[in-house]
Amino acid sequence: MTEEQDQTEKEIFTYLKNEVKIHDSYAAKLASYLCREIKFGEVDDVARMEPTEWKKAFTHTELAPSAKRKLLEKMNEVRENKKRNLLDIENIINEEPSCGTFQSLYMTIYFCIVTLLFFFWTKARKEI
C-alpha cells in the first residue's frame, strides 16, 4: 500500500470515527476495506457508494446493525446536501446476506440427521 493510500485510509477512519461516530474498531475495519478492496481515493467517495457496494462492505466488515444504520443515515444526510438519490436503509440492512443464517441452517440439518440416526440406532437395538 502506498503512502497516499495510507493517508486516505487514515482520513476515512477519522471521518467514520469523528463525523459518523461509530466505534474505533468498526471505523478501522470499514476504512481498511474501502481503501484496500474498493480502492477509494478520497473521503467523498464514501457518499458515492451504491447500495450493492454497501451490502458487500457490510458483509466483509461485519459491522453491528446500529453502526450500519448510523452510517447510512449520515450518508443520506451527505447525499441529500449534494442533491443525490438517498439510500434505502432498510433494504440495504435487511437484505444483506448473513452467514449466521447459513450457520443456523447447517446446524438444523446436522441435528436432524443426528436425531434420525439416533432414532434408527435405538430402534435397531430394540429389535435385537
Domain boundaries, the chain: 3-97, 98-128
- Among residues 59, 65, 51, 62, the alpha carbon closest in space to that of 28 is found at 62
CA–CA distance, 89 with 92 (Å, rounded to integer): 5
With a cut of 50, list the residues of the chain below it in pLDDT: 96-97
Query: The pTM is what?
Result: 0.68
User: What is the predicted pLDDT for the residue at 107?
Assistant: 79
